[in-house]
A and B are shown apart, each in its own frame.
Chain A
Amino acid sequence: MLTITNLHVRAGNREILRGINLSIDAGEVHAIMGPNGSGKSTLARVLAGHPEYEVTEGKVLYDGQDLLAMDPESRARAGVFMAFQYPVEIPGVNNGYFLKAALNALRKHRGLEELDAMEFMALVRARMQMLDMDETLLTRPVNEGFSGGEKKRNEIFQMAVLEPRLAILDETDSGLDIDALKIVAAGVSAMRTSERAILVVTHYQRLLNYIVPDFVHVLTDGRFVRSGGKELALELEEKGYGWLEADEVAGAAAAKA
């Protein structure tokens, strides 16, 4: 579904991603872990089409299409969704109205009929219950005045309503207490299907106890330094990122010699 080849990305003068290779198939859950500043969030944001980044090398194919040539809304309509690390507050825009507009934009693109207010409410109600969200969040402005946990839940709620094919979760666990984390993770896990791929970007292993990944990749300084199964996350939890960085330096030195 998604193939990233030798991706180099720069923001301003700084090269943040330095040759990323990753292949994700439908039905898989991949986790990207790494220390702060390693480029995890940059990768997520580049995939969503954030305009601040410049791709200097490499390519990304999504269902055979050149993802990087598509604008953010085209990616969304093609089924790419990113849950933001810092969801944006939009004063004056009603959360429910916004979500209905987004859903209908996607449905239109997929050749489906637009939903009216009644149908929309029926659709969202069940998903709000699953995420233990207060229905008043629908009538409030998007993310404005939401607590940190409410914002993250709202992201997963949007994902549940928009039903993407490729879901990218950018540090969805940060700022969540353990109860909220469990609810959010259960919401994500409920969306695991054989047609959908999920890419979880996280600093901590904790979330991966609840969203168990098929693959774990460790990103350090803009490159993957290790890939493995779910046990890699546990190993990292135990030994910390320093272990891999030291390992990488040793490896590089060995290669040089």
Chain B
Amino acid sequence: MEELARADAAWPAGAPAWLKRTREDASGRFQSLGFPTTDDEEWRFTSVAPIAEARFAVAINGRAALGSADLVPFRLTDLASAELVFVNGRYAADLSSVRPLPRGVRIESLASALATHAGEVEPYLTRVAAFERQPFTALNSALFADGAFVHVAATVALDAPIHVLFVSTADGAPTMAHPRVLVVAGEGSQASIVESYVGPRGDRYFTNAVTEVVVSENASVDHYKLQHESLNAYHIGAMHVTGRRNARFQSHSVSFGGALVRNDVNAVLDGEGIDCTLNGLYLGGGRRLVDNHTIIDHAKPHCSSREVYKGILADHARAVFNGKIIVRPDAQKTDAKQTNKALLLSEDAQINTKPQLEIFANDVKCTHGAAVGQMDDDAIFYLRTRGLSLDEARNLLVHAFAGEVLNRIPAEALRQRLEAMLLRQLPNATSTR
């Protein structure tokens, strides 16, 4: 793995020794695991051969390829307390903005945090996202050069969201980036974080992102992931969350782009009284593949989880949804509910969907439901008899289908922005031509 050696050379001098050891472990781990194959149950329907067989260089610089208007549609500058922009995995200070923040809030580049106050990062980094059995998380842990570090001190409430925007370009040849995000919400604190992944130039590249989120006692974190990669890009992203007693965590994942996309969300409810929400919406068209794997691990009693994932697939698009809910032996009074639905807009679109309930406690309430359907022709006709065109009718129905997920987004301004994005994407996804 020559890439590993080269990437390591790019690591800034002065990295703490503990991290160097972890990276060596992760590197060794990745080399023994290798890229997953479809023989692996977790990757049964998703072949990563296009990634494994391609050659990607660590981008040293991609700024030259980026036009000044490229980022405009993806920015949330007006809504955000801070907007950190990364180009090919590297922090771009001049594209970023941070408003004055309350005391006790750190929002910064991970590389600079490691260079100047690594002690604040050490208790968490790589400890939430295990890489023993996850090759891509191992690869990220071995190779990440930068990313975002967010720390909200106890009892601090940050009202405006934090936006972390990862931009990728091809820099002449296909590139790869391994962005890393660490969010630590102290006891009783409150924050919301938006991660965007975008490829405005339509390039071919590989993003392998890992996010770690720690939600302390009584803390509340809303996390948004907007996957808006180039339609020629490969995106593998894993978020690992751990919640403590009475924590509240919401994840809203919206997946629009990418040729091959895998989103993992692993939430460990490691304290009583945790309230966890996982929402997902994904759009697929062309011959693209989008795979969502989620795990909610009810490790302690009296936690509740709500999960809704919905997909809209056109053309020859394929999707995978695998939702695992684990209820550990002492996690009594667990209340878990999972729903996943897919709307297939063409005969050639397909989805493999699998709820996976592993329940080891006896006094629990767990339900799941899955539905795959087509556009309702009667509804289309009904709308057309009222004067809506065929395209308007189809868009309205698709929008309504997606609405069930978008309407759960608590932040009004963000929800509206996402709806606007969805409306822009829909004509491509639902076109009859």
Contact = CB atoms under 8 A, between A and B. Distances in A.
B400 A92 contact: yes
Contacts of A102: 383, 386-388
Nearest to A93: B400
Interface string B390-427: 10100011011101100000000000000000000000
B432 interface: no
A167 to B, nearest CB: 12
Given A50-B381, A92-B403, A106 B397 contact: no
Among B376, B378, B403, B404, chain A packs the most CB atoms within 10 A around the CB of: B378
A73 B389 contact: yes
Given A72-B381, A90-B376, A93-B400, 10 more contacts: A49-B385, A50-B381, A73-B387, A73-B390, A75-B385, A84-B382, A88-B378, A91-B400, A92-B399, A93-B397
Contacts, number: 75
B387 A76 contact: yes
A76 B387 CA distance: 5
A95 B235 CA distance: 38
Interface string A78-120: 0001101001111111000011011101100100000000000
Contact of A81 (B384, B385, B392, B396): B385
A90 B389 contact: no
A162 interface: yes
12 contacts: A71-B390, A72-B381, A88-B376, A88-B381, A88-B382, A90-B400, A92-B401, A93-B396, A93-B400, A102-B383, A102-B387, A106-B387
A98 B377 CA distance: 17
A99 B397 CA distance: 14
B379 interface: yes
A81 B382 CA distance: 11
Contacts of A88: 376, 378-379, 381-382
Contacts of A230: none
A162 B387 contact: yes
B379 A158 contact: no
Contacts of A71: 384, 390
B52 to A, nearest CB: 40
Contact of B396 (A72, A87, A101, A162): A101
A51 interface: yes
Interface in A33-87: 48-51, 71-73, 75-77, 81-82, 84, 87
Contacts of B401: 92
B378 A77 contact: no
A70 B396 CA distance: 22
Contacts of B382: 84, 87-88, 90
A99 B383 CA distance: 10
Contact of A73 (B388, B396, B404): B388
A92 B404 CA distance: 7
Nearest to A87: B382
Nearest to B384: A72
Interface in A156-200: 158, 162
B383 A90 contact: yes
A37 B392 CA distance: 33
A77 B385 CA distance: 9
B400 A77 contact: no
Contact of A90 (B385, B392, B397): B397
Contacts of B381: 49-51, 72, 88
A106 B396 CA distance: 17
Among A89, A90, A91, A101, chain B packs the most CB atoms within 10 A around the CB of: A90
A175 B385 CA distance: 22
B392 A105 contact: yes
Contacts of A91: 400
B400 A73 contact: no
Given A90-B382, A92-B403, A105 B387 contact: yes
A92 B387 CA distance: 19
Contacts of A77: 387
Nearest to A77: B387
A110 B161 CA distance: 45
A76 B386 contact: yes
A99 B381 CA distance: 15
Nearest to A81: B385
Contacts of A158: 386
Nearest to A48: B385
Nearest to A101: B388
A105 B378 CA distance: 20
Contacts of B386: 76, 81, 98-99, 102, 105, 158, 162
B423 to A, nearest CB: 13
B2 to A, nearest CB: 51
B400 A72 contact: no
Contacts of B404: 92
A151 to B, nearest CB: 11
Contacts of A84: 382, 385
A103 B379 CA distance: 17
Among B377, B381, B382, B399, chain A packs the most CB atoms within 10 A around the CB of: B382
Contacts of B392: 101, 105
Nearest to B382: A88
Counting from the closest, the 4 A-B pairs by CB-CB distance are A92-B400, A102-B386, A72-B384, A76-B387
